[in-house]
Amino acid sequence: MENAIIELKGRIDSTNAADWEPILLQAAENANDCELLLNAEELEYISSAGLRILLKLAKKKETTKIVEVRPEVYDIFLTTGFNEILHVEKALRKVAVDGCALVGRGAHGEVFQIAPDTMVKVYLPGFSIDRIRREIAYARKAFVMGIPTAIPFDIVRVGERYGAVFELLSAIPICDYIRGNEERTQIFIHESVSMLKHLHSQTVAAGELPSMKANTIRWLQEMRDIAEPYLFERLMDFVSGLPDSMTLLHGDVNPGNFMFSDGNLMLIDMDTLSTGDPIFELATLFVTYRQFPKINKKAAEMFGLTLQKAAKMWDSMLREYTECGDERQLAEVERKAQLLGCIRVIHYMRQHTEIEDRTEAIRICIEDIETIVLSLGDRKTT
């Protein structure tokens, strides 16, 4: 059911409060089970007489929200404590990105440079403001735990979409930093792996962040209709057997979520922050450098990489992260990462029906899963 919306305009004071009262109370009556939104974009002032009407409204319709409130009117709600009685949302500052340099693109949006030291991440349509607030909270948590990241300081509107503004001094996207430069590529590999190891040395309390294992089991359950029963059972045994770890994970460590800022590597986009065994993090690396490029070579080109360079970077990252020289052990870790990565890709493709080659991508991932499982014979995948 759609929300009921009432537009608040002009001034609401002792001269006209009596006119607004029946309008608002009747709107609450008509709203029934849906949410009542009071759009205050054109509200210039509200006096104590108007606030008394809103108090009556709050008692009648507790789920009422007042949105797009101008700063000067928001101060009235804040001063009187009305923001604790009703849900009040301050109007967001409007930012334009026309003519601004696009410095990054990811699964959730695009990053534009709007000033020499200021970026705005413009989220995809439908991305909720609550999810953006969660990302900001996660970024602060990561920063406190010693993870170099950028903390957004403002939520804005960019056309019909939401954006988050943050500072990155002299920021260079990784694809620009490493393009055609082998020395810089090795620097990025080393520093990003070191950052991940530091990230994975941190733990949080149970329930504080989403569990990547629980998410993966949920994604796997969604595959029942496309996976053969024996395949589904083997995958479920594999994922269920992974440790219930409270290790901190980023959850989406693709090159688009790294930047060099003022000479230091920064990890951004914290909305995927979660917990779990580090194999889940390696799975996201495998997806970025091997699985997606296998499905479509443009996935590597998006980060300025050839297929060969992407594969080489995955191999280098795997070896440096595991500090393992045993080829059989490395192959075992890679198989686990690919299994988890394929589950992730299938979930992603089934969620994004607008992707043209999604059916082919799912087919390739199912085939890869079957190949790995069959190669293991009767051995447990764990």
**pLDDT tens string 259-291:** 888 888 999 888 899 999 999 999 999 999 999
Rounding to the nearest 10 degrees, give the CA dihedral for residues 368, 374, 375, 381.
90
Q: Is the four-CA dihedral 184, 188, 190, 194 of positive or negative sign? A: positive
Rounded to whole angstroms, the Cα distance separating 40 from 17 reads 15
Question: Residue 376: pLDDT band by 50, 70, 90 thresholds?
Answer: low
Q: Is the pLDDT of residue 131 over 90?
A: no
Which domains, and CATH codes, for the chain?
4-90 (3.30.750.24), 101-167 (3.30.200.20), 172-376 (3.90.1200.10)
Rounded to whole angstroms, the Cα distance separating 269 from 135 reads 7
pLDDT at 352: 84
Rounded to whole angstroms, the Cα distance separating 92 from 69 reads 9
Rounded to whole angstroms, the Cα distance separating 335 from 376 reads 10
Question: Residue 1: pLDDT band by 50, 70, 90 thresholds?
Answer: very low
**pLDDT tens string 21-68:** 999 988 888 877 788 889 999 999 999 999 999 999 888 888 889 989
**pLDDT tens string 141-199:** 899 889 999 888 889 999 999 999 988 877 888 888 898 889 999 999 999 999 999 99
* Mean pLDDT computed over every residue of the chain: 90
323: Cα separation from own chain's centroid: 30
**pLDDT tens string 322-339:** 999 899 999 999 999 999
Q: What percent of the chain has pLDDT over 70?
A: 97
pLDDT at 214: 97
pLDDT at 375: 78
Q: Is the pLDDT of residue 314 over 60?
A: yes
42: Cα separation from own chain's centroid: 32
pLDDT at 274: 96
